[in-house]
Amino acid sequence: MIDINIIRTNKELVKENIKKKFQEEKLPLVDDIYEMDIKYRKIKTEADEDRSKVNTLSKEIGSLMREKKIEEANKIKEEVTSIKNRIPELEKEEEFLAKEIKEKMMKIPNIIDSTVPVGKDDSENVELERFGEPIVPEYEVPYHADIINRLNGLDKDAAGRTSGNGFYYLMGDIARLSSAMLSYARDYMIDKNFIYCIPPFMIRSDVVSGVMSFEEMDAMMYKIEGEDLFLIGTSEHSMIGKFKDQIIKEDKLPITMTSYSPCFRKEVGAHGIEERGIYRVHQFEKQEMIVLCKPEDSMKWYNKMWKYTVEIFRNMNIPVRTIECCSGDLADLKVKSCDVEAWSPRQKKYFEVGSCSTLGDAQARRLSIRIKGEEGNYYPHTLNNTVLASTRALIALIENNYNEDGSITIPEVLRPYMGNKDRIVVKE
């Protein structure tokens, strides 16, 4: 949610930003909010003035009564009664307008950074940089589900019977490899001085609406029937929610945290070959990182955070690249975002394995997270980044470390988590 002062002072900036995001249907909201805000402030002023007048006149009545000026006091009492009768109506309208303004404000997209390329959708995202050589071996790299099946590491049929499409059982060494990747990612972030946390896996609706747009909520989140609880789609949501309604001392910044959680999403299953695998699923595990910092430090942290993900993947022998998300591909709360994509030797192309975003003070405003500074309170900037998402990272690792004999070379950094094994082999 943006600062309403931007609409008060620079409506055209807000409208231009909406156009850059190709959301012209939201343009009328800006003028609606502008006009409603004028009315709201007028009514609020009237109500404040009336309350002040009641206090002043009440003191005057007291003085008159002490002076035995009963008739004068009674006249003023009538005036006070009249004012008091008017205040509830003003307060009711004030409350109504405040609610309406907030609902409309939450639909206004955040002001994107000036460096964000303008484009309609992800097809217009811009490649930034490549890390590692994208190698295609001379031998064929099979589909990841076929590789894992040969290693007795995947059972989607059983998952279909227990849970339906979009779920899976990982088994044996492959399950262990998935856990090893998450453990390595966890320890890597701890070594970067991020505080490790296991957060709640369910959050209330007021937290959900504080960290993401309504459109994202409907598309992603599973709601618990009969409860004001949602299964998290990423631990970033409950991690940021941890600070809801809190005033944090400035000397506590930056707050840097890394978290483990399962993630639950209403992913729409792909067709054909991709449906057999674990690329697009309803459940996976994830190591996440978040930062709360001073506004002037957010871009510094943004560039630190995506580089951590790049380094983790490179340490697992996986070539990656970074992609700048264009304006139309940014979720409404995001100021700037980039994706980290891993190389697929099978497909001979890159695919998304993580995303890093700075959201300015949008989440902090929605959740009422404030910093107590020397010159008063202010909203911090919040950032989040995928350290490692289990299923897609597993696909990238398997494809890039696949050997012609069907075995998987275990990257050196993962071997301490795999009983010092250096390879997963096909068992005949």
Residue 272 has pLDDT above 60, yes or no: no
Amino acid present at 356: C
Task: Tell me the pLDDT band of 140, cut-offs 50, 70 and 90.
Answer: very high
Residue 76 has pLDDT above 90, yes or no: no
**In this predicted structure, what is the pLDDT of residue 275?**
62
Mean pLDDT of the chain: 93
**In this predicted structure, what is the pLDDT of residue 268?**
58
C-alpha distances in angstroms, 408 versus 57, 147, 173, 404, 421? 84, 9, 10, 9, 11
Residue 269 has pLDDT above 70, yes or no: no
Residue 271 has pLDDT above 50, yes or no: no
**In this predicted structure, what is the pLDDT of residue 274?**
55
pLDDT, average across residues 247-253: 97
C-alpha distances in angstroms, 295 versus 33, 52, 299? 26, 37, 8
To 10 degrees, what angle do helices 70-105 and 27-66 make? Answer: 160
Higher-scoring residue by pLDDT: 59, 372:
372
C-alpha distances in angstroms, 30 versus 3, 26, 72, 365, 374? 12, 8, 50, 18, 34
**In this predicted structure, what is the pLDDT of residue 390?**
96
Same fold across 4-105 and 122-424:
no
Residues of the chain above pLDDT 70, percent: 98
C-alpha distances in angstroms, 5 versus 10, 18, 30, 295, 426? 8, 17, 12, 17, 63
| The token pair that represents 268 in the structure block | 């729409």
Measured over the CA atoms of residue 113, residue 114, residue 115 and residue 119, the dihedral's sign is positive
Q: Where are the domains of the chain?
A: 4-105, 122-424
Residue 295 has pLDDT above 60, yes or no: yes
Give 304-339 pLDDT, tens digit per residue: 999 999 999 999 999 999 999 999 999 999 999 999
Give 2-34 pLDDT, tens digit per residue: 999 999 999 999 999 999 999 999 999 999 999
Give 186-228 pLDDT, tens digit per residue: 999 999 999 999 999 999 999 999 998 777 777 789 999 999 9
Model's pTM, two decimal places? 0.90
Q: 122-424 adopts what CATH topology?
A: BirA Bifunctional Protein; domain 2 (3.30.930)
Kindly report the three-state secondary structure assignment for every residue of the chain.
Answer: CCCHHHHHHCHHHHHHHHHHCCCHHHHHHHHHHHHHHHHHHHHHHHHHHHHHHHHHHHHHHHHHHHCCCHHHHHHHHHHHHHHHHHHHHHHHHHHHHHHHHHHHHCCCCCCCCCCCCCCCCHHHCEEEEEECCCCCCCCCCCCHHHHHHHCCCEEHHHHHHHCCCCCCEECHHHHHHHHHHHHHHHHHHHHCCCEEECCCCEECHHHHHHHCCHHHHHHHCEECCCCCCEECCCHHHHHHHCCCCCEEEHHHCCEEEEEEEEEECCCCCCCHHHHHCCCCCCEEEEEEEEEEECHHHHHHHHHHHHHHHHHHHHHCCCCEEEEECCHHHCCCCCCEEEEEEEEECCCCEEEEEEEEEECCCHHHHHHCCEEEECCEEECCEEEEEEEEEHHHHHHHHHHHCECCCCCEECCHHHHHHCCCCCEECCCC
Query: 254 preceded by cis ω (within 30°)?
Result: yes
DSSP lists the bridge partners of residue 358 as 336, 383
Homologous superfamily in CATH for domain 4-105 = Serine-tRNA synthetase, tRNA binding domain (1.10.287.40)
